[in-house]
């Protein structure tokens, strides 16, 4: 199986010329996808601990531009033809699911079905507070929101009755190109694994390696079988490892895509990094 290569911008940025140059370059280099991050706001100070760095702090800060990922990807779609367009990750409980279903379907249609909707529940309580969204039960909200969005994409008319959202009968168009927007569930908790098995076209565990990943991968297979799904139907994406040995281990565990980070402001650096990774790690 040939592994897909995705790229995530290593910093924020909203300069139109830079974004257009960046995504066209990725497509020209044969990259499969680009992944945009989301933070609606970044608190000046926060007590929450970022789970993917020992410092507990994320690299993005108050002075970084962090554009809305769906607007960013819509712009990227207009400058490319084959590049898949991923979010890593939409913080799902911070959104109204009825509104978000429309936005996701619209980007999917405008891009010709290239959207990969990566979703997570987030970790930054202070961001939730700024949006007036309860931080507690965010996992339960995420599950319900995924059910509600699927109902909007497939129902004619759509109906849904839940604890956090209720509607119907209603119609939401346009419909996604393939009937539903592919959901890529982000996270390395057992709850994220269960969510991926129930709702995911993909799973993107963040910040895990080695035995921890192998255990979660086995858990995903078990959860898929428990709900009557073929585990191989859930495409696994991982942060790119640094050498071919690690990559082959991931491949043996069924990883389908790896994602590297690159700086959109440095096109020469992007080209060199992608080509080097393709040659030295992917072996293509």
Bridge partners, 257 (sequence order):
4, 237
pLDDT of the chain, 284 residues: tens digit per residue: 689 999 999 987 899 999 999 999 999 999 999 999 999 999 999 999 999 889 999 999 888 999 999 999 999 999 999 999 999 999 999 999 999 999 999 999 999 999 999 999 999 999 999 999 999 999 999 999 999 999 999 999 999 999 999 999 999 999 999 999 999 999 999 999 999 999 999 999 988 988 999 999 999 999 999 999 999 999 999 999 999 999 999 999 999 999 999 999 999 999 999 999 999 999 98
The residues, ordered by sequence, that sit 6+ positions from 18 with a Cβ below 8 Å of its Cβ are 264, 265
Q: Do the beta carbons of residue 211 and residue 147 sit within 8 Å?
A: no
Burial track 219-252 (b if 16+ CB lie within 10 A, e otherwise) = ebbebbeeeebebeebbbbbbbbeeeebbeebee
pLDDT reported for residue 209: 87
12 secondary structure, DSSP code: -
- Cα–Cα distance, 120 to 192 (Å, whole number): 8
pLDDT reported for residue 85: 98
Which secondary structure element, helix H or strand E, spans residue 219, and what is its range?
helix 210-226
Tokens, residue 54:
């020992």
Three-class SS of 267-284? HHHHHHHHHHHHHHHHCC
Bridge partners, 27 (sequence order):
none
Tokens, residue 239:
């942060």
Whole-angstrom CA distances from 80 to 29, 34, 125, 191 are 12, 11, 36, 35
pLDDT reported for residue 150: 98
Q: Do the beta carbons of residue 248 and residue 1 sit within 8 Å?
A: no
- Cα–Cα distance, 101 to 96 (Å, whole number): 9
- Cα–Cα distance, 87 to 68 (Å, whole number): 10
The residues, ordered by sequence, that sit 6+ positions from 71 with a Cβ below 8 Å of its Cβ are none
- Cα–Cα distance, 156 to 130 (Å, whole number): 35
pLDDT reported for residue 132: 97
Tokens, residue 190:
């057992």
What DSSP string runs through 229-244? Answer: --GGGSEEEEEPPSSH
């Amino acid at each position: 199986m040939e592994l897909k290569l995705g790229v995530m911008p290593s910093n924020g940025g909203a300069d139109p010329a830079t974004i257009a140059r960046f995504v066209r370059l990725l497509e020209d280099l044969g990259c499969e996808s680009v992944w945009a991050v989301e933070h609606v706001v970044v608190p000046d100070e926060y007590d929450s601990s970022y789970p993917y760095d020992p410092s507990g702090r994320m690299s993005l800060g108050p002075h970084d531009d962090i554009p809305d990922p769906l607007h960013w990807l819509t712009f990227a779609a207009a400058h490319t033809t084959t590049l898949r367009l991923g979010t890593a990750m939409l913080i799902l409980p911070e959104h109204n699911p009825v509104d978000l279903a429309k936005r996701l379907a619209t980007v999917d249609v405008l891009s010709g079905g290239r959207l990969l909707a990566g979703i997570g529940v987030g970790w930054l309580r202070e961001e939730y507070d700024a949006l007036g969204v309860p931080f507690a039960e965010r996992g339960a909200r995420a599950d319900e929101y995924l059910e509600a969005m699927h109902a909007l994409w497939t129902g004619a008319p759509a109906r849904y009755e839940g604890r956090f959202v209720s509607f119907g009968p209603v119609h939401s168009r346009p419909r996604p190109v393939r009937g539903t927007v592919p959901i890529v569930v982000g996270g390395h908790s057992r709850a994220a694994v269960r969510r991926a098995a129930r709702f995911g076209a993909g799973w993107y565990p963040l910040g895990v390696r080695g035995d921890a990943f192998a255990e979660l991968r086995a858990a995903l297979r078990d959860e898929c079988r428990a709900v009557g799904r073929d585990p191989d139907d859930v495409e696994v994406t991982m942060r790119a490892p640094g050498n071919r040995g690690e990559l082959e281990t991931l491949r043996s565990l069924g990883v389908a895509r790896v994602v590297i980070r690159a700086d959109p402001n440095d096109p020469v650096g992007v080209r060199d990094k992608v080509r080097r990774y393709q040659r030295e790690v992917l072996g293509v």
